[in-house]
Amino acid sequence: MVTTTSVEAVGTTTSLSEEVVAPAVAKPSTSQALSTTTNVTDPTDLGAGQSCQRLPESEDQPWVIVNDGVMGGKSQGAVTTEVNQMQFTGNIVTDGGGFSSVRRLLDDGLDESDRLQMRLRADERRYEILLTDIDSQAYRVTYYAPLETEGDGWQVIDVSFDDLEARIFGRRVDAPPFQPQNVTTIGIILADGADGEFSLELDWISACSDTL
């Protein structure tokens, strides 16, 4: 049985991985568990007592692919971007590995926020969000939470920082809580133990908090 472990990015905040890292390429223009889903289509469309700030995209910190080649695997992943939208596609091969991920560095912290809100659509496979902060990166700890989608249409998912699970090389560990003000990396990973193609589209990510 293949375990759904993931090898984490290590080192300083200037590098996501020591292995397979593919830069995002421009795409031609064409016209419950730990997360919850809503029908919000814009991060400003919120109820009373909530505040959200969309995370900006940056050409200096593009989305990059980190596959299971770091452990001898053969999974493939690709990322394309158009304006602020991102598409993450590929093929999982569980023989010898079994994961593909897309990640980007963050300069600015998620100060005062207690959760992330993401508008996406996916193929009903079990994706997870991943996050690192300055301290966790030094100890090779990464924080995870599943992205529980309903169907394959566009939807908004909330992920609370309180529900993040700390892991090292896929194994759960005791670690201090995630520090949003010191975030270094954000990403999405697929490591569900199943072979085959996958596809996920991301419209935006916002850092949110309750104001009441």
- Whole-angstrom distance, CA of residue 113 vs CA of residue 145: 16
Residue 36, domain member (yes or no): no
**Contact status, residue 63 vs residue 21, Cβ threshold 8 Å:** no
Residue with tokens 């394959």: 152
- Whole-angstrom distance, CA of residue 167 vs CA of residue 185: 15
Closest CA to 75 of 51, 101, 110: 101
What pLDDT is stored for residue 170 in this prediction? 86
DSSP state of 136: H
Residue 134, domain member (yes or no): yes
Residue 156, domain member (yes or no): yes
**Contact status, residue 137 vs residue 9, Cβ threshold 8 Å:** yes
Question: Which ranges of the chain have pLDDT less than 70?
Answer: 1-48, 211-212
How many domains are there within the chain?
1
Residue 8, domain member (yes or no): no
Residue 96 one-letter amino acid? G
Q: What is the CATH number of the domain that holds 75?
A: 2.60.120.430
Residue 165 sits in which domain range?
A: 21-26+51-210
What pLDDT is stored for residue 65 in this prediction? 97
* Element at 137 (helix H, strand E): helix 134-138
- Whole-angstrom distance, CA of residue 180 vs CA of residue 184: 9
Do β-strands 171-172 and 165-168 pair in parallel, antiparallel, or remain unpaired? antiparallel
Residue 63, domain member (yes or no): yes
pTM exceeding the 0.75 threshold for the entire prediction: yes
DSSP state of 138: H
Instruction: Output phi, psi for 154, to 5 deg.
Output: -65, 135
The DSSP string of 149-168 is --SSS-EEEEEEGGG-EEEE
Count of CB atoms within 10 A of residue 139's CB? 14
